[in-house]
């Protein structure tokens, strides 16, 4: 299962059939194979750039070679932006290497994309993430999402989240954030490596639907979500499938 060449083929097939395609990643790009052990992130960012990824966010394992190495390979090999709105990288090697959000135009639609990450303290050795600061994800996401809808005129806001799908504790997760959110339409999640059979729909603080999806780990599944917009550019329908990345 898995493999970047197989994933690249599947992505290419979607692009051949569809006009407006976004390829996104919710973090933990590094770690898990000898390729990372030997090359410390160079291989992963090179292949993602070759596949034409549009946007990604950072996971805790992306600090596994240290923040200096993360900054080095991001600058050298990533042709796509990293988004995160709840880490403060001031006075670190990653300063200026991420964006709070990006806006991508697809036809007549404006799509806003932001990202959030898990609290690193206690999860990642201090020396690996250095002076990186952590802020409340819910407050930051709601501020950015409202800006994207009201100031940037976005028709859809996507959150790339590395918080984790759901917890039994009070720890913030995709599910709990969705319930407290405003103006977020879709959450693409990571961290807990959850294999969802289908996306979950959660009602937000304004009783509007938020679609949450997560497709495991290791690139062995490719999650696909199709959002259909009516002529007045209001989101009306959505379809989804989880595609195994396999020899067949």
Predicted confidence at residue 235, as pLDDT, reads: 62
Interacting residues of 182 by C-beta distance below 8 A, sequence separation 6+: 142, 145, 146, 204, 205, 206
pTM above 0.85, yes or no: yes
Predicted confidence at residue 31, as pLDDT, reads: 83
Predicted confidence at residue 32, as pLDDT, reads: 78
Burial of 105 (0-12, 13-18, 19+ CB in 10 A): exposed
Indicate the class that CATH gives domain 4-244: alpha beta
Distance in angstroms (rounded) separating the CA atoms of residues 121 and 129: 9
Domain boundaries, the chain: 4-244
Predicted confidence at residue 233, as pLDDT, reads: 60
Predicted confidence at residue 248, as pLDDT, reads: 82
Q: What is the pLDDT along the chain (248 residues), one digit of tens a residue?
A: 999 999 999 999 999 999 999 999 999 999 878 999 999 999 999 999 999 999 999 999 999 999 999 999 999 999 999 999 999 999 999 999 999 999 999 999 999 999 999 999 999 999 999 999 999 999 999 999 999 999 999 999 999 999 999 999 999 999 999 999 999 999 999 999 999 999 999 999 999 999 999 999 999 999 999 999 987 766 678 899 999 999 98
Q: Dig out the tokens for 7 from the structure.
A: 């994933």
């Amino acid at each position: 299962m898995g493999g970047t060449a197989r994933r690249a083929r599947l992505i290419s097939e979607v692009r051949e059939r569809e006009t407006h395609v976004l390829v996104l990643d919710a973090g933990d790009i590094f770690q898990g194979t000898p390729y990372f052990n030997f090359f410390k992130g160079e291989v992963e960012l090179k292949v993602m750039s070759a596949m034409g990824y549009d946007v990604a966010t950072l996971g805790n394992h992306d600090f596994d070679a240290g923040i200096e190495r993360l900054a080095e390979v991001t600058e050298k090999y990533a042709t796509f932006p990293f988004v995160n709105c709840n880490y403060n990288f001031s006075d670190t090697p990653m300063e200026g290497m991420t964006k709070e959000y990006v806006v991508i135009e697809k036809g007549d639609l404006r799509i806003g994309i932001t990202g959030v990450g898990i609290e690193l303290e206690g999860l990642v050795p201090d020396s690996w993430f250095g002076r990186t600061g952590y802020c409340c994800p819910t407050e930051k996401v709601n501020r950015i999402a409202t800006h994207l809808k009201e100031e940037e005129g976005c028709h859809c806001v996507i959150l790339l989240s590395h918080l984790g799908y759901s917890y039994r504790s009070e720890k913030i997760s995709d599910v709990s954030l969705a319930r407290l959110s405003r103006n977020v339409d879709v959450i693409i999640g990571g961290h807990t490596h959850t294999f969802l059979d289908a996306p979950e729909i959660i009602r937000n603080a304004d009783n509007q639907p938020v679609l949450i999806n997560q497709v495991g780990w290791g690139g062995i599944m490719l999650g696909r979500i199709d959002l259909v917009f009516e002529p007045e550019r209001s989101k009306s329908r959505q379809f989804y499938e989880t595609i195994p990345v396999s020899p067949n």
